[in-house]
Amino acid sequence: MIHINPTLTPSDLSAKLQRFWALSAQKIRLIEQHYDVANGSPVFTVKGQYTTRGWTEWTQGFQFGSAILQFDATGETDFLEYGRKNTITVMAPHVSHIGVHDHGFNNVSTYGNLLRLMHEGKIEFNEWEKNFYELALKISGAVQASRWTSIKNRDGGLGGFIHSFNGAHSLFVDTIRSCRALVVSHQLGHVFQGEGDVKINLLERALLHIKATADFSVFYGEGRDSYDLWGRTAHESVFNTKDGNFRCPNSQQGYTGFSTWTRGLAWAMCGFPEQLEALESISDGQLVPFGGREAVEAMMLKAARATCDFYIEHTPTNGIPYWDTGAPNLHKLGDYLNRPADPFNDHEPVDSSAAAIGAQGLLRLGNYLISKGDTESGKNYWQAGLTVLNALLEEPYLSTDPNHHGLLLHSIYHQPNGWDYVPEGSKIAYGESSMWGDYHIREAALYVQRMINKEPYYAFLNCVK
């Protein structure tokens, strides 16, 4: 269980953040100088050098988005120009990519961040540039929404979800972060049309996907199966596409469908609170067809609380989780939940990228609850988020080797497939980085730094004015 530091404040992290952004700048420049773009998007490191893995091109937005975040944090304009230039010249195929569920990752992290900075006055306003970013975001949300599977909800009503690259039967818990693309497109006023010019409501598809994730990907200790615990998640939920019925939980990157892959858990922890924040910008009238604001908020808040509670309860004391809470050799570590995680052990890897994503979820949920008057529980989540981030900003998780391309060490990509590099003499993977881990530690650091500096609150819908 995480030992939450109740006295830690954002300002306490100021010195660590200054060091962090200096290291971050070095890593971005290293990749720019040494990575061979002919190989495709950089995904994860092997022996400290970024390499690729031909599954899908889901990490390129994190590469260029990282440079944009670096500019946001430090004002160094060369990072802005690098991020902006590559967004314009490289990211267009991601806008029209019909084969993935990753539009929120790729396009909100690039076009969205650039548009946000323009609205915040951090980059010069240009009407045509604004229109360009808006058009990309409008189309991205519509393309993402087109990957649609209709299902039966648990209450018997009709629902649906954005299906993963596995096929129409497959709901990934990760995809809740791609709902940002649909919400942004909707809030920008985009009209998504299907056969016969039928208008398809992008907000409806986002909310139905979020509800499907809450209903099928998140467990609440209500007796669904023998492993039903408050807040555990399944990476994949499988449906019969003939009749729309749910069939079973499954996992692609976790150990089983009946254990909790911690990065999948973290995607939910981050996704639900940021969508709760987005609801503040959506009128009551638009939420009436979905049961009204109170019902929608209650659904999201239950899932956000549950997943964050599970993370706090089932993570070692320093806030860094092992890659799956049901990993088969965890028992060999003994009482591992009552001491800090050990990335150099002989039995199971940790996954720092899950911690980076989860920390942001804890912070956002805490801030949301405090803003709603639930100060006690909000403070608990907030302090948990600061505790996790504080640990990530130190060795052995922060990469200080000037020759290592990665920023956040001990990230795991695909443990079941054996894709992660195992150093010679070790029994487990450790010491490597991932593009999503590096991006999300930057995002969490920026989130806290903007609060320290009393800048506008960092939210994805800030790209819509």
Domain-embedded: residue 462: no
pLDDT in tens, 337-371: 999 999 999 999 999 999 999 999 999 999 999 99
Predicted confidence (pLDDT) at residue 38 exceeds the cutoff of 90: no
Quote the number of domains for the chain.
Answer: 1
SS3 assignment for the chain: CCCCCCCCCHHHHHHHHHHHHHHHHHHHHHHHHHCCHHHCCCCEEECCEEECCCCCCCCHHHHHHHHHHHHHHHCCHHHHHHHHHHHHHHCHHHHCCCCCCCHHHHHHHHHHHHHHHHHCCCCCCCHHHHHHHHHHHHHHHHHHHCCEEEEECCCCCEEEEECCCCCCCEEEHHHHHHHHHHHHHHHCCCCEECHHHCEECHHHHHHHHHHHHHHHHECCCCCCCCCCCCCCECCEEEECCCCCCEEEEECCCCCCCCCCEHHHHHHHHHHHHHHHHHHCCCCHHHHHHHCCHHHHHHHHHHHHHHHHHHHHHCCCCCCCCECECCCCCHHHHCCHHHCCCCCCCCCCCECHHHHHHHHHHHHHHHHHHHHCCCHHHHHHHHHHHHHHHHHHCCCCCECCCCCCCCCECCCCCCCCCCCCCCCCCCCCCCCCCEHHHHHHHHHHHHHHHHHHCCCCCCCHHHHCC
Report which residue type is found at 157. Answer: G
- Domain with 358, as residue range(s), is 10-453
Domain-embedded: residue 206: yes
pLDDT in tens, 363-398: 999 999 999 999 999 999 999 999 999 999 999 999
Q: Compute the residue count for the chain.
A: 465
Amino acid 288: pLDDT: 97
Q: Full-prediction pTM beyond 0.85?
A: yes
Report which residue type is found at 129. Answer: E
Domain-embedded: residue 3: no
Predicted confidence (pLDDT) at residue 295 exceeds the cutoff of 90: yes
* Joined tokens for residue 153: 């909800």
Domain-embedded: residue 367: yes
> Rounded to whole angstroms, how far apart are CA atoms 191 and 25?
39
Share of the chain above pLDDT 90, in %: 96
Q: What CATH number has the domain bearing residue 248?
A: 1.50.10.10
Q: What angle do CA 269, 4, 70 make, to 5 degrees?
A: 55
Domain-embedded: residue 5: no
Amino acid 40: pLDDT: 85
The dihedral built from the CA positions of residue 428, 430, 432 and 434, taken in this order, carries a sign that is positive
pLDDT in tens, 205-231: 999 999 999 999 999 999 999 999 999
Domain-embedded: residue 324: yes
Amino acid 88: pLDDT: 96
Domain-embedded: residue 464: no
> Rounded to whole angstroms, how far apart are CA atoms 449 and 180?
22
Domain-embedded: residue 460: no
Predicted confidence (pLDDT) at residue 54 exceeds the cutoff of 80: no
